[in-house]
Amino acid sequence: MPEPTEETRRKHWGKTKNLTIVVLVIWAVFAFILPWNAKGLNELSFLGFPLGYYFTVQGSLIVFVLLIFFQNWRQDSIDDEFGVSEEEK
């Protein structure tokens, strides 16, 4: 496999950086913003639990696991697009 050019590396890093920023923003919303606003959400309920509690305890964990799979899948796509995948073809 030929070595990627500087332009290819720059574009690859740009997409990787944007993916990382998006994932970190989503993570921050579910790790910090929702818990800080849970008191206001507790006025509503879901399955008998206060909504703020449910989002913080259940929803955040689900989102974190989904973020791991999404970032892995998307990064593999980016790596394949620029020919820097670690998998042999």
DSSP for 24-86, written as a single string: HHHHHIIIIIHHHTHHHHTTSEETTEEHHHHIIIIIHHHHHHHHHHHHHHHHHHHHHHTT--S
Q: Which domain holds residue 73?
A: 8-81
- For residue 14, tell me if it sits in a domain: yes
- For residue 88, tell me if it sits in a domain: no
Single pTM value for the model? 0.78
Q: In the prediction, which pLDDT does 62 show?
A: 93
> Which tens digits make up the pLDDT trace of 40-49?
888 888 888 8
- For residue 31, tell me if it sits in a domain: yes
- For residue 86, tell me if it sits in a domain: no
- For residue 2, tell me if it sits in a domain: no
Total domain count, the chain: 1
